[in-house]
Amino acid sequence: MPSLQKALPPELADNVLRLYRECLRRAKYIGHQKHNTELLVTMVRQQFKKNMHETDPEKIQKMKDDAARGLINHILYESEKITGRKFSG
The ranges assigned to domains in the chain are 10-82
Tell me the average pLDDT across 32-36: 90
**Euclidean distance between CA atoms 67 and 73, whole angstroms:** 10
Q: For residue range 71-83, what is the model confidence (pLDDT) as tens digits?
A: 888 888 888 888 8
Rounded to two decimals, the pTM is 0.70
- State residue 64's pLDDT score: 84
- State residue 6's pLDDT score: 59
**Euclidean distance between CA atoms 65 and 4, whole angstroms:** 5
Q: Is the pLDDT of residue 23 over 70?
A: yes
- State residue 39's pLDDT score: 93
- State residue 10's pLDDT score: 65
